[in-house]
Structures are given as structure tokens and as C-alpha cells.
Amino acid sequence: MTTDPIPDGGAPARVLFICTHNSARSQMAEGLLRARGGDRFAAFSAGTEATEVRPLAVCAMDEVGIDIRGQESKTLHRYLGEPFDLVVTVCDDAREACPVFPGARRMAHWSFEDPSRATGTDEERLAVFRRVRDAIAARVDALVAAGVAGAAGDVPA
């Protein structure tokens, strides 16, 4: 069910995913929405700090046929002053640091564990990235199905 019209008479809904380091969760969310949202969504991601896109995030996304190698880690300051239909914090620290975002029509919070903190072998750590990727994918799929107005956990900004 797609109940949310595309804003501005055809422009895609602009969605920004925010995480602390813009290295894994927000990067995966951006890639998933780009791949699954079609021309109805324009996906972006940023962090309260910029670091690098984690290699295990790239690997986990490769497994589902989504290449995020061209994405870069950036700070949310790049997007200040830009309008967004939905801004989603994907970690608790980002929600605390950025409870509101100027220019956001709606805000949502999706809490996911930080896969970059996983320990163990490479395979054990990759398993955590997969689990987080799959949880994010479920939320992105729900967003695509419901539209921005139906985003679970959202509040008007």
C-alpha cells in the first residue's frame, strides 16, 4: 500500500539517515533505500562525525546485490539548511545528539545495534553486520510500502 504521494508534484521524497560515524548503519540504510525505493525516494546519509564506510558494511551489502563502495562518510553539516521529507536517526547516540533537524518535515528513530563494535573473528563480525543489515532492510521495506507519512516511529517535525 503506497499512501504517501510523492511531494512537490513528482519530486522524490528526500530521506536522510543519521548515525554517529556514518560508517555502517546509515550507509546501509542509504544504499537499501536507493535500491528499493526506486524513483519515489532520494536517499542520503550523514553522521555527527565523519569517518569511513566500514569494509564489513560493504561486504554485507554486496551479499544482497547492493554496492555502497561509491558512498562516502560525511557529517550532517553538509545537509543543514536543505529540506527533507523524513530524517531518520538509526542509532541512539545520533538521536540524542540530533533530536530535531532543521528543514525536516518528519523525524523518526530506528534503533539498531552498532555492528562496528562487534568482536570476534571476521566471520563472527560479518554475521553482526548481516543481522543489522537485515533489520534495517525490514524497516526500509516498510517505509517504501507505507511512504514517508507512514514511517513507523515518526513524528511531525
Cell of 156: 511531525
Question: 2 Cβ partners below 8 Å, 6+ apart?
Answer: 40, 145, 146, 147
**In the prediction, which pLDDT does 147 show?**
85
Give the position of cell 558494511: 57
Per annotation, catalytic residue among 13, 15, 19, 32: 19
For residue 2, being part of any structural domain is answered with: no
pTM of the model: 0.88
CATH assignment at residue 120: 3.40.50.2300
Cite the DSSP H helix spans in the chain.
7-10, 25-36, 55-62, 92-97, 122-146
- Assigned domain for 156 exists: no
**Which residues partner with 13 through β-bridges?**
41
pLDDT in single tens digits along all 157 residues of the chain: 333 444 445 789 999 999 989 999 999 999 999 999 999 999 999 998 999 999 999 999 999 999 999 999 999 889 988 999 999 999 876 556 655 677 889 989 899 999 999 999 999 999 999 999 999 999 999 999 988 876 655 544 3
CB 13 within 8 A of CB 63: no
- Is 59 annotated in the active site? no
Domain extent, residue 103, equals 10-150
* The one catalytic residue among 43, 60, 68, 91: 91
- The identity of residue 78, as a single letter, is R
Size (the chain), residues? 157
Count of structural domains within the chain = 1
122 within domain boundaries: yes
Other C-beta atoms lying within 10 Å of the C-beta of residue 60: 24
Q: Which of 16, 28, 98, 151 does the annotation list as catalytic?
A: 98
Determine, yes or no, domain membership for 68. yes
